[in-house]
Amino acid sequence: MIDFERLESLSPAKQRAVVALLSESTVEGAAKTAGVSAVTLRRWRSDPAFREVYRLARETMWEEATARLAVVARSAVETLHREMTNPDARPGERIRAAQVLLEASARCATREPGAEEAGQSAADEDFERRLEAIYGERAIEP
């Protein structure tokens, strides 16, 4: 759940901007959705309080998405397994089901402990921190 106390510490315009950044694919799109200029949104993103609220909201979004995926994952794997072993299925369908299962298994086997809670791997977080240190706010633009 989003930390509404922290979100409410921001102005209504900044609150809209946080929500827009979570739902839009570009800063320009988020700015338009929030009703502010892209320049203003970029300036706000350099503000430590705004960045912290945005970071927490993004983490919450990833946690919720991961929890939803966990609920349906077992059913999805069972469906793929059923298709893969279905003698009436076309060979291409069976091969594709097997491929999807193998790829998912490989990702699970190489996942870093705790990465699913953060929504990204420790390596991704380290890379993002280094980019931000070098380039500042430009490093975190979508």
Tokens found for residue 22? 């979570």
- Asked whether residue 45 is domain-assigned, the answer is yes
Confidence (pLDDT) at 139 = 43
Tell me what the mean pLDDT of segment 58-72 comes to.
Answer: 83
| Domain carrying residue 32 | 4-119
140, part of any domain: no
Whether 104 is covered by a domain: the verdict is yes
Is 127 among the domain residues?
Answer: no
Total number of domains in the chain: 1
Q: What is the pTM of this model?
A: 0.55
Q: What is the reported pLDDT for 44?
A: 94
Query: What confidence tier does 113 reach under pLDDT thresholds 50, 70, 90?
Result: low
Domain contains 137: no
Q: Is residue 133 part of a domain?
A: no
Assigned domain for 128 exists: no
pLDDT in tens, 120-141: 555 666 666 666 666 555 444 4
Confidence (pLDDT) at 43: 94
